[in-house]
């Protein structure tokens, strides 16, 4: 499964107050390994950045004045996430902002759910660690992910941290490899392994088309002919 770890930074906390996205950071995950493929951009929000938000990520309207607008990168962004499962911490926040940005570009662009599915690591963390702090910083500490270099929030940096946290939450892996990046392997605490596996999202069941079934049957017939009637799969599927 192709997964995309995604994070955003914004001008403020609510889309209802017309706050905008100022940064998108995405990292690709394949077979539970982080690849070298990234999508990262700053965005001109065309409005002021709240002082509280600027204190978190360090970005101001002046710094973003020459950045592209969301409409300038929407095709590239959707091409990157299309067909993937997005891994987001507190997904409702980021998805709400992305849906609002898509709506601003035009109704023909639809919603984020038209292009990909979403998995919320905050929901999973609350199931695994009820009653505890489950912010990204708290989870980094719990799963021994080094975030000492994180003095300010940044979408791409937070996506890199979330990738490691996600692997810890869902049972870890043998060798976490950031291809083209510097990051060490970390396994999840063993106490969370079984719980993590129990709450992982279900797999996708694929139903073959009629054309697939016809091609499969033809292939079995060829194997059966070449093996003098000893194709076990064909024998097992034939009624007695």
Q: What is the CA radius of gyration of the chain?
A: 22
Whether 153 is a known active-site residue: answer yes
Structure tokens at 20: 């905008």
The whole-angstrom separation of Cα 210 and Cα 177 is: 40
Structure tokens at 159: 């996506």
CA atoms in the 13 A half-sphere facing the CB of 237 = 10
Structure tokens at 75: 């095709």
Which is catalytic among the residues 37, 129, 153, 216?
A: 153
CA dihedral 176, 196, 140, 89 (to 10 degrees): 100
Nearest by Cα to 180 from 36, 38, 37: 36
The whole-angstrom separation of Cα 136 and Cα 142 is: 10
Active site residues: 153
């Amino acid at each position: 499964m192709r997964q995309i770890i995604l994070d955003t930074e914004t001008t403020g906390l609510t889309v209802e107050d017309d706050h905008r996205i100022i940064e998108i950071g995405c990292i690709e995950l394949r077979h539970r390994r982080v690849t070298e493929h990234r999508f990262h951009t700053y965005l001109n929000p065309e409005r002021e950045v709240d002082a509280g938000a600027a204190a978190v990520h360090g970005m101001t309207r002046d710094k973003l004045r020459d950045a592209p607008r969301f409409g300038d990168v929407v095709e590239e962004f959707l091409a990157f996430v299309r067909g993937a499962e997005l891994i987001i911490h507190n997904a409702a926040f980021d998805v709400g902002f992305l849906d609002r940005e898509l709506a601003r570009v035009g109704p023909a662009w639809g919603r984020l759910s038209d292009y990909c599915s979403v998995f919320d690591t905050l929901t999973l963390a609350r199931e695994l660690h009820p009653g505890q702090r489950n912010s990204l910083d708290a989870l980094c500490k719990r799963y021994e992910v080094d975030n000492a270099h994180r003095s300010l929030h940044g979408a791409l940096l937070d996506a890199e941290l979330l990738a490691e946290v996600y692997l810890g939450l869902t049972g870890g892996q043998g060798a976490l490899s950031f291809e083209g990046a510097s990051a060490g392997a970390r396994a999840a605490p063993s106490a969370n392994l079984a719980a993590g596996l129990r709450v992982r999202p279900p797999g996708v069941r694929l139903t073959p088309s009629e054309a697939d079934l016809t091609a499969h049957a033809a292939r079995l017939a060829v194997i059966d002919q070449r093996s003098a009637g000893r194709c076990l799969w064909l024998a097992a599927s034939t009624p007695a």
